[in-house]
Amino acid sequence: MSERSVETIDPQRVGSSSAQPESPLPIDAPTPGSFTLNDLLAVLDLGGDVPPVPARCLVSAHGGILGAQLLGQQIVLAERLAPGKAVHSLHTIFSRPGDCQQPLWVDVERLAHGGSIDALALSFRQGSLHICRADVMLRASEPDFLSLQMSRADLSGPADAVPFPDRRMMPWEVRVLPRVEPHRLDQWQRIGDAGEDPTVWRALLAHSCEVLPLADLLTASGIPPMPADRPQVAAAVLSQTVTFFDDLDVRDWHLFQVRTVHAGQGRAVARIEIFGPDGVQRAAAEIVGLVRSARR
């Protein structure tokens, strides 16, 4: 890193005509919580590069802002603000659910830049209320010094899986393998209409990582995963880390192997490993979630 000081990006200093530009409206949805791939791509196409950046929202079933959407927006904005670099890892803490019908803004701190690494802090807010913060590290492409890849030759392919019917949060091709462990999900997916932009590919992968773990834990425990169907249970992602090991193309099949490794005291921890069609691991993620009785 060539710089270690924290720099707050001042929209007035960098030439913004207004510190609070007009916020775009949320994506209309006939059914809250249900959206198309084009809807998701629209919210990932953030409206500007000069902070505070206005962001659009998908309309959720619970009225809050979808964490999966926020993760994708963090990747797109970070790579837009650090041209020539790709996200290597991000860590996001979700502090409150927000309101998907209200304006959403992103403030930016540049923590380090220059050389092979950039680091940004992205804070999403509605007015003065903090919604989430992401610490994002980006890398420039450089030759390998050491090379070590995790590869699996024993993975069952998508031909061995069955189509997953409910794709409200993942409107693309999804196939699920038979469950071999009580709290493990093996899901193949590919997004054939994801376009040509690798930044969007990484954003869509991060979106999927947020959606899967808590829903699978609830399903494996006999609890409906959708909020409207389980009023007795509160579940939400509190923090998520995503790390990209290598380049990937989500238009190819990728296997998401999701394990719940702990649940107790109102919290759940899950880990995700993402493998390409060649069996090489491309990415990994971990989430900490809240799961408890809604009657508290």
Question: Is the predicted pLDDT of residue 253 greater than 70, yes or no?
Answer: yes
Delineate the domains of the chain, giving CATH numbers in brackets. 7-139 (3.10.129.10), 160-293 (3.10.129.10)
What is the spatial distance between Cα 251 and Cα 175, in angstroms, rounded to a whole number?
Answer: 14
39: phi then psi, degrees, rounded to nearest 5? -60, -45
Q: What is the pLDDT of residue 212?
A: 94
Query: Of the given ranges (25-39, 47-61, 145-159, 272-286), which has the lowest mean pLDDT?
Result: 25-39
Task: Give the three-class secondary structure for 95.
Answer: coil
- CB count in 10 Å sphere of residue 272: 23
Taking the CA atoms of the chain, what radius of gyration do you get in angstroms? Answer: 19
Q: What is the pLDDT of residue 149?
A: 80
Q: Could you read off the pLDDT of 94-121 as tens digits, one per residue?
A: 999 999 999 999 999 999 888 889 999 9
What is the spatial distance between Cα 115 and Cα 70, in angstroms, rounded to a whole number?
Answer: 27
Q: What value does the mean pLDDT take over residues 137-165?
A: 88
Report the run of H or E that residue 292 belongs to, with start and end.
strand 281-293
Q: What is the pLDDT of residue 1?
A: 35
Question: Is the predicted pLDDT of residue 294 greater than 80, yes or no?
Answer: no
Pairing state of beta strands 104-112 and 7-8? antiparallel
Question: Is the predicted pLDDT of residue 29 greater than 50, yes or no?
Answer: yes
Angle between helices 198-220 and 37-44 (to 10 degrees): 120
Residue 165 pLDDT level (bands cut at 50, 70, 90): confident
User: Burial of 162 by CB count in 10 Å (0-12 exposed, 13-18 middle, 19+ buried)?
Assistant: exposed
281: phi then psi, degrees, rounded to nearest 5? -70, 130
What is the spatial distance between Cα 52 and Cα 108, in angstroms, rounded to a whole number?
Answer: 7
Q: Are 57 and 65 in contact (CB under 8 A)?
A: yes
